Every structure is written in C-alpha cells, then in structure tokens.
Amino acid sequence: MVRMIRESFAVVEPRSDEVAKFFYGMLFSLAPATREMFPVNMEVQRSRLLRALVHVVQMVDRPDDLIPFLRQLGRDHRKFGVVNVHYESVGTALLAAIKKFAGPAWTPKVELAWAEAYTIMARSMQEAAAADDGPAYWHATVLEHQRVSWDLAVIRLQPDHPVGYRAGQYVSVETPQRARLWRYYSPANAPRADGIIEFHIRSVEGGWVSRSIVGHTQAGDVWRIGPPMGRLSVDRKSGRDVLMVAGGTGVAPMHAIIDEMAQWGENPRVHLFMGGRTREDLYDLDNLQRFAMTNPWLTVVPVLESDPGARGVEQGTLADVVTRYGAWQDRDVLVCGSPSMIRATVSRMLVAGTPLDRIKYDPFTLD
C-alpha cells in the first residue's frame, strides 16, 4: 500500500496546482456549504493542501509520527465547523483528483490503497475531534504591536482563556483584517501564568496575512487562535543532548523551548544554530545570547548567508554550517524555518549521517 501510494503521488505531484484546483472544485460541488469555510482567494490554501499531502505521504509508513499529526489536524479543523459528512466529500474529491492526473498509474489496486489510507486518516481526525471537549478556538486581544524592522513585528496577545500549548508548538490564527485566512505561527514564549502569548511575524512576499499583521495590527484587535499543533519539543529525560536549527522567525519555537528549559536547574546541552541572510535577520540573537550567558548548557551559533564582512558569525547556509560541524548522530534534532530551508537542512543532515528518526520538524511554517 505504501509503495503504491508513493508511486502514484509521484506521478501527480508535478501537476500539484492543477490537482488542488480540481480537488477544491469537486469538493465545493459535492458539499457547497464547505465553500464558506475558505477565503475568497484560494491560492495559499491550494499550496497548503499540497504541503499536507506531501507530509502525509512522507509519513505513511511511520504511523507513530503520522497518527499524532492527524489527530492534531482533526482537533484543529473543529474551528471551521467540520462535521463527519464533510470527510466523506473530501475523500471522494481527493481520490477523484489523484485519479484524474495519475493517468495509467491509477489502477484498481492503487485506488484501493488510497481509499484504505484515507479511511484511516479520516478516522483518526474524526476520533480526535470528537474526543476534544476544549474550545474550537480562543479569542485573544492584541496588547502590543512592536515593529522590529520594516518587515518584522513582535505581537503580544492576551487570550480570554489560557491556550494549553506546549513550548515549541504552533497554532493557527485569524485576524480581523483577513477574515477566514487562517495562518500558522509559533508562540515565541513558554506558557506563562498570565496567559500572554508572543508571536514573531515576518512579512512574506505575497503574504496577505503576514503583511497585514506587520503593517496594520493595532492594540485592541481581537484575533482567533486555533488549537495547538506540532511536535517540536525537548525530552529532558531522554539522556540525549539537543541540536536546534532555526532560520529567520523559525527561531520563535526554539526561543519558547529555551525559555521553558531555563526554568529548570539541570538540562541537556543545547546547540542552537540560528541563520539568516543578513545581520538584521538575526533579530533575536541578543536575547538568546543573554540566555546563554546565564545557562551554561546553551550554545548559540549565528549563521549568515550574505554578509561576508560580519564578525562573530559562521558564513554559509544553515545546511552548510550545521553539517560542517559533524553528523550529530547522538543528538535529538529540531529544525524550523521556511519549507526550502527545512528541505535543504534535513537532506544535508541525512547525507552527513544524522539518523532520520532523530530529526523533528513541522510542515506548516510559511504564510
């Protein structure tokens, strides 16, 4: 089943945009009410569908990783008002889309493999949604909008009730300026007693939501925050040290984890590589270096791609620099950044000899 799913998906992946358009056209035809769950502009939603499918296909033979991801996704979809009948329509539309573009690769056995796989996925999502008695989303009021640079802002919010996230997880957010355009962002702080959440948000080229947040968010705005997702975390009892690799605002969940670890007297050693193109991209470096000064278990290594005159930093891409230091076989590895940065870094680390089962990253990281 795994082989047939991967081989057939490899056939349709080069035409992913057409697949996504056909899928949503079919879905809205089968279940017209679902159209109201999505924004008018579907461009980002289509790319997100592909990323989710790629992530699922990559993990289809790793149920210990896939099932928790699907259960989180099921809980998250409660915010849209998804009910069981919608899963039937999604399954029908998904198989129809893959069949249309798979051509001769689509056989009765391949269809059965996809149908069985989707049944398992849908059941996991439905069961998780049904078992969750918490809110589908939280309201949160913007307390502060701090413009760090022309394209970067720090946003602090006060939820109406505590959001039960773990340091390192991410949540979906909806802003009043961009209704129905949900985006995923990682809190940059560990959970606090007062419940305040901090986000580091960079304006992405063509990003409707990120550009609106950086340029137009004001104190008093009320956001909606979806259920926590993600698997970035540090197991303090594993006996293994930790490697963190963060590009740009991908440093936010690493900051949250370090913030939480700093509350303990003893911790595994943490080696953090944080990268960007220029010095301005290392906006959180001073804060993390202050952590390192008072927590000897933490080492922070800044990395720059396009600033050869900078001192006190490593030069090159994160993939170059991290693997230059070694294979890190004995470490738990956390990676966060843009999809291209994650792909490049994970690929290079695997070639260098880092075990795949030691590497953790999350799929939804870009506007």
Q: Residues with Cβ < 8 Å from 274, sequence gap 6 or more?
A: 246, 247, 251, 254, 282, 284, 285, 288, 300, 301, 302, 303
Q: Which two structure tokens, joined as six digits, stand for 56?
A: 């699922």
DSSP state of 204: P
- pLDDT of amino acid 365: 47
pLDDT at position 47 is 65
Kindly state the tokens that stand for 26: 């079919």
225 contacts 163 by C-beta, under 8 angstroms: yes
pLDDT at 270: 97
Tokens 């984890």 found at: 257
Number of other CB atoms surrounding residue 28 within 10 Å: 17
Q: Count Cβ neighbours within 10 Å for each residue of 36-75 and write b for 16 or more, e otherwise.
A: ebbeeebebbbebbeeebebbbebbeeeeebbbbbbbbbb
pLDDT for the residue numbered 327: 92
**What is the DSSP track for 271-340?**
EEEEEESSGGG-TTHHHHHHHHHH-TTEEEEEEESS-TT-SSSEES-HHHHHHHT---TTEEEEEES-HH
Helices 2-12 & 84-102, crossing angle to 10 degrees?
A: 70
List all residues 6 or more positions away from 298 whose beta carbon is below 8 Å from its beta carbon: 258, 269, 270, 272, 288, 291, 292
How crowded is residue 309: how many other Cβ atoms within 10 Å of its Cβ?
7
Here the tokens at position 103 are 């051509």
Point out the residues of the chain with pLDDT beneath 70: 40-51, 364-367
- What are the tens digits of pLDDT across the range 30-88? 999 888 877 766 666 666 666 677 778 777 888 888 888 889 888 988 888 888 888 99
Separation between Cα atoms, residue 115 and residue 195, nearest integer Å: 42
Q: Can you spell out the DSSP letters for 95-143? A: HHHHHHHHGGG--HHHHHHHHHHHHHHHHHHHHHHHH--S-S-EEEEEE
Q: pTM for the complete prediction?
A: 0.84
Can you tell me the distance from the alpha carbon of 306 to that of 150, in angstroms, rounded to the nearest whole number?
A: 19
Residue 281 and residue 264: Cα distance in Å, rounded?
29
Asked if 268 and 242 count as a contact pair (C-beta separation under 8 A), the reply is yes
**Residue 243 belongs to what H/E stretch?**
strand 241-247
- Number of other CB atoms surrounding residue 205 within 10 Å: 8
Residue 366 is predicted with a pLDDT of 43
